[in-house]
Structure 1
Amino acid sequence: MIDADVGRRALGTVFAIVVAALILGQVLGQPILLGYVASGSMEPAMDTGDGFVAVPAGLGGEVSDGDVIVYEAREVNDGELTTHRVIEETDEGYVTKGDANPFTDQDGGEPYVTDGQVVATALQVHGTVVTIPHLGTVVMGVRSVLLGVLGAVAGALGLESGQGGVDADGAGALLVGLGVGLLGFGVVFDRAEPPKRDRFRQTTRRNVIAIWSVVGIVLLVLATAATAAMVVPSGTTAYEVVSTDDPSDEPQVMEPGASADLTRTVDNAGYAPIVVVTEPASDGVTAEPDRQVVGGRSDGETTITLSAPERQGTSLRTVSEYRYLLVLPPVLLGWLHGVHPYLAVTAVDAVVVGVGVLAILALFGTGDIRVRNPGSHVPFSRRIRRKLEKWLD
């Protein structure tokens, strides 16, 4: 039989994951494991407030006709994330439509949806979307509060984003970073948890801080900060291209089939060097160089080549930018990114938190930290200096 305490822990863990997935998904603008619809445009497949299992882009395979996707809209739904069905694939992108709507999104002014705009696909079984009735209403009330908290964290780290915050392309990566920190946080606390018979004595000791508690907090903070430093400045940028027989001096207004170059500045506002990967997220666009190292407090340049479609009209060309702290060789980071961006983010987080934890253990050892009352002994700054001198000796 399964121990009752183990069962409660397992249920609590599952519940925490579900709640965190819903809340973080709304805060970050990216469905994480679960998403929900906020309108009736997908009825009867999904009612207002219904939840659904969201498969992140890059993990669900290629998008095809009949798939229900979550994408970053440009015009419809006030430019917010939109959950609609793909009804046609074209050379310019996907044609999408809400099941309950009488017209397509493109008839309503939305450009063709490109792969770079797709952030998730709703799980379907035998052509039917797997829904969880009314699940969305659980998290609608907390979105604005947590957005403020996340914005405060980014502001405290001195980070800015050209997209106005953490965008959908970086949301999954940020969750990975938070997951690394939370996983490590739980591991060190479980590792440091005293036997039950000693629990009362250990938890009532005055002026003593458990070293593993410190390590857990440092690990969580470092993982969150490192991931935010990579994700917040990253994102997807859309360029509007006008194909016309009457081109202008504007580089994005050109004859059908013509190409033009734009210079994209890659600015690194931080003090740590980074590896920047710039990739096409749609057809008709290339980036050169696609990978470069940018030093701290400096910038680089990427040439974006845009191609106009053969037929006249307006279309979007999108590029995605990924940033990784240079804590591993650029070649290795590039290889990890090629496997999957989440893998590169996880590797960077592992190095950052690993170095941080080793530094804490080298400085303070594995024993608990005793904190004396101010004025009753040597000042804290002097004790830290002594620790450093002892460690260096």
Structure 2
Amino acid sequence: MFKSFLIIALISIIVIQSLSFVLDVPILFSFTMSNSMEPTIGTGDFFIVVPKFFISDIRVGDIILFYNPKYDFPVCHRVVGLTDEGYITRGDNSPFTDQQAGIPPIREEHIIGKVLTFQGKPILTPKLGLLILRIQLMIKGYTLPLALGLAVLGAVSLVTGKEYKLKKRKRVFKLKVRYVFIGCLAFLVFFTALLMVSKSQTVEFKYLATDLPTHGYIIMLGGRSEWSIIVNNTSLIPFYIYVTPLTDGLTTENESLGLVMPGAGEEFKLQIRAKNKIGWYTEKAGVYLYIAILPEDLVKKLADIHPYAPILMTTFAICLPFTLVYFIIEERDRVVRIKLGREKWLKELERQLKEALL
């Protein structure tokens, strides 16, 4: 029983990680590919990431996952200092900070989340990341076809009642269709909302208000300056991008909502009006991303009411068809028997697991 549970949990993690690869957003789990955090986190160690949306604050000593602002790839390092420009980070296996190596201080918009710890130590599964990486490489390019194939097979099985039997069966799981649908729907709601929330962020612009002519981050007292925010869509699905001022010194110049296709980007321009007193000031703008399935006008109206309103409506729109299917199916209380056997794919999975853990 424990072995079967472990296999199902492992497959679930692989599916989630594959989705995160397709959508270009880290989802709850990650693993290291270097020894920079040894001995705390070893190469290939698998750990849990708490998204920054759920973090109240980040302190010195916390281990965070962030995008390297210089090369734009995820890094897992420890916070060792805090400055006005951002966080100072360093790998436990290095005597030098990332900033001494030329990486700018890590700002809030670069942070993905914080590594989950217990009594100061990260919760790890040693070397599991190596197995996940191997399997992702094995199915690279086939993630979406495999997912669609499994979905179609499951739908046909539920509607027709036909059972697909595996040879040499040893394990039988019995689940009601009702519980399968409720579980899948809950996961879909959580995943959809988390995807949009995790991609949203707050960006900052620091400037010096002075009596000198406006140039770069220097703005004349009471004067105006333009601030451009470029947002790229690196995922494989289209997004609406909504930019709104969060401080009184900002106003939008162009449309605050734009549809950005995969691989494309959108530039949003804001006007900064400097204070009338000499000093350093910070202006903030919110950048929110919504999966593009609703009409653009509706998304704009909802976003103007509250930036998270389109997230709720989009999640509802995605889950509505599945909910209708659930009520259409008459045999909601029918028991689905899932039979697992030692087939070739299972043997190969066990072999990969043994190789990764050795």
- Name the % identity: 21
Unaligned runs of 5+ in 2: 166-180, 329-358
Kindly state the Cα deviation for residue 15 of structure 1 after the two structures are TM-superposed: 2.8
Q: Distance in 1 between matches of 2:54 and 2:116?
A: 12
Q: Alpha carbons of 1:136 and 1:14: their partners in 2 closer, same or farther (altered >3 Å)? A: closer
Deviations 1:269-299 (A, max 9, x none): xxxx986422579x999563898566899x9
Q: Which residue of 1 aligns with 2:294?
A: 326
Q: Which residue of 2 aligns with 1:171?
A: none
2:26 pairs with 1:62:
no
2:17 pairs with 1:18:
no
Q: Distance in 2 between matches of 1:239 and 1:147?
A: 37
Q: Distance in 2 between matches of 1:16 and 1:194?
A: 24
Kindly state the Cα deviation for residue 148 of structure 1 after the two structures are TM-superposed: 5.1
Deviations 1:213-255 (A, max 9, x none): xxx9xxx9xx9xxx8xx97xx87797987879998886x4535
Q: Which residue of 2 aligns with 1:304?
A: 270
Is the Cα–Cα contact under 8 Å of residues 94 and 114 in structure 1 kept in the other structure? yes
Kindly state the Cα deviation for residue 74 of structure 1 after the two structures are TM-superposed: 1.6
Once the two structures are superposed, the pairs formed by residues 104-123 of structure 1 within 5 Å of their partners are 104-123=97-116
Kindly state the Cα deviation for residue 86 of structure 1 after the two structures are TM-superposed: 1.4
Unaligned runs of 5+ in 1: 154-178, 201-215, 362-393
Number of residues of Structure 1 aligned to a counterpart in Structure 2: 288
Kindly state the Cα deviation for residue 43 of structure 1 after the two structures are TM-superposed: 1.6
Once the two structures are superposed, the pairs formed by residues 27-106 of structure 1 within 5 Å of their partners are 28-75=23-70, 78-106=71-99
Q: Distance in 2 between matches of 1:307 and 1:70?
A: 34
Q: Alpha carbons of 1:89 and 1:56: their partners in 2 closer, same or farther (altered >3 Å)? A: same
Structure 2 counterpart of 1:348, one-letter code:
A
Q: Distance in 2 between matches of 1:94 and 1:81?
A: 15
Local SS of the residue matching 1:92: coil
Kindly state the Cα deviation for residue 45 of structure 1 after the two structures are TM-superposed: 1.0
Kindly state the Cα deviation for residue 133 of structure 1 after the two structures are TM-superposed: 0.9
Kindly state the Cα deviation for residue 67 of structure 1 after the two structures are TM-superposed: 1.5
Q: Which is further off, 54-63 or 9-18?
A: 9-18
Q: Distance in 2 between matches of 1:145 and 1:246?
A: 61
Question: Given the alignment, which residue of 162, 171, 194 partners 2:161?
Answer: 194
Kindly state the Cα deviation for residue 14 of structure 1 after the two structures are TM-superposed: 2.4
Q: Distance in 2 between matches of 1:290 and 1:187?
A: 46
Q: Distance in 2 between matches of 1:80 and 1:65?
A: 22
Local SS of the residue matching 1:16: helix
Is the Cα–Cα contact under 8 Å of residues 275 and 292 in structure 1 kept in the other structure? no
Q: Distance in 2 between matches of 1:183 and 1:333?
A: 35
Local SS of the residue matching 2:53: coil
Q: Which residue of 1 aligns with 2:121?
A: 128
Q: Which residue of 2 aligns with 1:346?
A: 315
Deviations 1:115-147 (A, max 9, x none): 211112110111111111111211334556766
Q: Alpha carbons of 1:131 and 1:336: their partners in 2 closer, same or farther (altered >3 Å)? A: farther
Question: Given the alignment, which residue of 269, 275, 278 partners 2:243?
Answer: 278
Q: Distance in 1 between matches of 2:129 and 2:15?
A: 13
Is the Cα–Cα contact under 8 Å of residues 40 and 92 in structure 2 kept in the other structure? yes
Kindly state the Cα deviation for residue 28 of structure 1 after the two structures are TM-superposed: 4.7
Q: Alpha carbons of 1:23 and 1:335: their partners in 2 closer, same or farther (altered >3 Å)? A: same
Local SS of the residue matching 1:58: helix
Deviations 1:139-163 (A, max 9, x none): 334556766567x99xxxxxxxxxx
